[in-house]
């Protein structure tokens, strides 16, 4: 097995991340979903946690359980 760093010894983590970012941008602009107007969801961590607890509580109630998750 060939170690990845032996193929490109001068590749750094920053280079890899830059390449990943560039591929992500290319994918984002080339997909058909880019043409669809999707709503943006921007929640804070506290909002995500609150919604997660609420959903977990509903799931427990629907399953017939009581108590904390």
pTM of the model: 0.33
Residue 50: name the closest of 38, 60, 58 by CA: 58
Name 56's Cβ contacts closer than 8 Å, sequence gap at least 6: 69
How does pLDDT run across 53-65, given as a tens digit for each residue?
999 998 888 887 6
Tell me what pLDDT residue 5 has: 52
For residue range 13-42, what is the model confidence (pLDDT) as tens digits? 888 999 999 998 888 776 655 556 767 788
Task: Delimit the domains of the chain by residue range.
Answer: 4-32+43-63
**Is pLDDT at 66 greater than 60 in this prediction?**
no
């Amino acid at each position: 097995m060939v170690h990845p760093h032996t193929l490109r010894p001068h590749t750094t983590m920053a280079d890899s991340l830059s390449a990943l970012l560039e591929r992500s941008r290319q994918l984002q602009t080339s997909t058909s979903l880019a043409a669809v107007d999707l709503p943006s969801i921007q929640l804070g961590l506290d909002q995500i946690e609150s919604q997660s607890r609420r959903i977990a509580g509903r799931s427990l109630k629907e399953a017939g359980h009581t108590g904390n998750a």
